[in-house]
Amino acid sequence: MFTGIIEAMGTLTELRRQGEDVVLTVEAPGLDFSDVKLGDSIATNGVCLTVIALGDKRYSADVSLETLARTGFAQAKVGDRMNLEKALTPSSRLGGHLVSGHVDGMGQVMSRRSSGRAIEYWIKAPADLSRYIAEKGSIAVDGISLTVNAVKGDAFLLTIVPHTAEETTIARWKPGHRVNLEVDQIARYLERLLQGGAGAQAPSSTLTLAKLAQSGFL
For residue 112, the Cα-to-chain-centroid distance in whole angstroms is: 20
User: Over the stretch 121-143, which tens digit does the pLDDT of each residue have?
Assistant: 999 999 999 999 999 999 999 99
For residue 91, what pLDDT is reported? 76
pTM: 0.86
Q: How far is CA 59 from the centre of its chain?
A: 20
Nearest to 160, CA basis, from 149, 151, 176: 149
Instruction: Please report the beta strands in the chain, taking only residues with DSSP state E, as ranges in sequence order.
Output: 8-18, 21-27, 41-44, 47-55, 58-63, 81-86, 105-115, 118-124, 138-141, 144-152, 155-160, 178-183
In the predicted structure, residue 213 carries a pLDDT above the cut 70: no
Facing residues of 147 across strands? 138
Q: Report which listed range, 141-145, 190-194, 197-201, is most confident.
A: 141-145
Domain ranges of the chain: 8-86, 105-184, 185-218
Q: How far, in Å, CA of 81 to CA of 129, rounded?
A: 26
Name the residue among 213, 172, 160 with its Cα closest to residue 190.
213
CATH number of 8-86: 2.40.30.20
pLDDT tens figures, 138-157: 999 999 999 999 999 999 99
User: Mean per-residue pLDDT for 43-72?
Assistant: 96
Q: Tell me if domain 8-86 and domain 105-184 are identical in fold.
A: yes
Residue 107 in 3-state DSSP? strand
Please provide the average confidence, as pLDDT, over all residues in the chain.
90
The per-residue pLDDT for 20 is 84
Fold of 105-184: Elongation Factor Tu (Ef-tu); domain 3 (2.40.30)
3 state SS of 214: helix
Q: What would you measure as the largest C-alpha separation in the chain, in angstroms? A: 56
